[in-house]
Amino acid sequence: MKRLRIATRQSALALWQAEHVAARLRMAHPGIDIELVPMTTRGDQVLDRPLSEIGGKGLFLKELEVAMLEDRADIAVHSLKDVPMELEPGFSIGAVLERADAADAFISNAYARLDELPNAARVGTSSLRRQAQLRALRPDLELLDLRGNVNTRLAKLDAGNYDAIILACAGLERLGMGDRIRSRLIAPEWLSAVAQGAIAIEQRVGDERVGGLVAVLDDADTRRCVECERAMNRRLHGSCNVPIAGYCVETESGLVLYGLVGDAGSGQLVRAEVEIAGRDRGVELGEQVASLLLERGAAAILGKLAVCRT
């Protein structure tokens, strides 16, 4: 009997993703014995400050990686957009599942679209990427921090704390809350987080048994696109401290990548779009778009943010 232990955060969305991976593995490997190992991470515990102030999205991974190192778990399941560009030594991405809807969702109880919001409306999001794009489109809005799981954020909206909030479509749809989406914010006008909508399986390097089990879930098309986006982000030294967005899609003959670096304070946006022939050149494309963004003014934005963080 094959046995596999999956480390996961305890939020409803994280548990859904872990259960989804478990169900896919059971279909691929009849008779496999799968156990979920739920745990709370520091990123889940500290909700009164933006992630950019407490160490970034890597805080969602640390406890899960420790569980793998201590042989309390064999793999960890993550939203790939929360996974740092460089993993801790000894870990790798064993599989990337087929991507769900990568768009952001505009959610409001009174308004159907972002452009329908009244002057000085209150919009909740702690994402610097979303804040930068909101300021560029609607500098009149009052942008307020919003942390917590999906249910918590929706409850705060329903309590009247905000006129609208921005969440990921994929998370809402996975939790059966797609009806809360009033409109989708889509590329190329609005860009989502790098790798948004994709689920990743993290494993220990060199664990051939586990690698063989999870490899069957790897979606080659999704991996090509998210590796392209992550290559851009890596070249820009991106993290949750930096408003970076990227979205790659396949064309008939290759790939196209839309990239963006923004300033959440001023709403300044630097954009680049490049199409390349050949679908095996994603990393090259990501680095090319990053270089173009830097040339067009992203270097100044990133430099200013680096000074602010020191």
Residue 82 falls in the annotated catalytic set: yes
Residue matched to tokens 């991976």: 21
85-99 tens-digit pLDDT:
899 999 999 999 999
pLDDT band of residue 61 (cuts 50, 70, 90) is confident
Nearest Cα neighbor of 262 from 231, 306, 293 is 293
Please report the pLDDT score of residue 303 as a whole number: 86
What average pLDDT does range 265-283 have in this prediction?
96
Please report the pLDDT score of residue 1 as a whole number: 57
DSSP category for residue 31: T
As a whole number, the mean pLDDT across the chain is 92
Lowest-pLDDT choice from 20-29, 55-64, 107-116: 55-64
Residue tagged active-site, from 44, 71, 74, 82: 82
66: left (phi over 0), alpha (psi -120 to 50) or beta: alpha
- Helices and strands: H and E segment counts in the chain: 11, 13
What average pLDDT does range 213-242 have in this prediction?
91
Question: Looking at the predicted structure, is the pLDDT value of residue 264 above 50?
Answer: yes
- Distance, in Å, from the CA atom of 190 to the CA atom of 186, rounded to the nearest integer, reads 5
pLDDT band of residue 81 (cuts 50, 70, 90) is very high
- Distance, in Å, from the CA atom of 230 to the CA atom of 244, rounded to the nearest integer, reads 11
User: What percentage of the chain has pLDDT greater than the value 90?
Assistant: 85
105-131 tens-digit pLDDT:
999 999 999 999 999 999 999 999 999
Q: Are 165 and 152 in contact (CB under 8 A)?
A: no
155-212 tens-digit pLDDT:
999 999 999 999 999 999 999 999 999 999 999 999 999 999 999 999 999 999 999 9
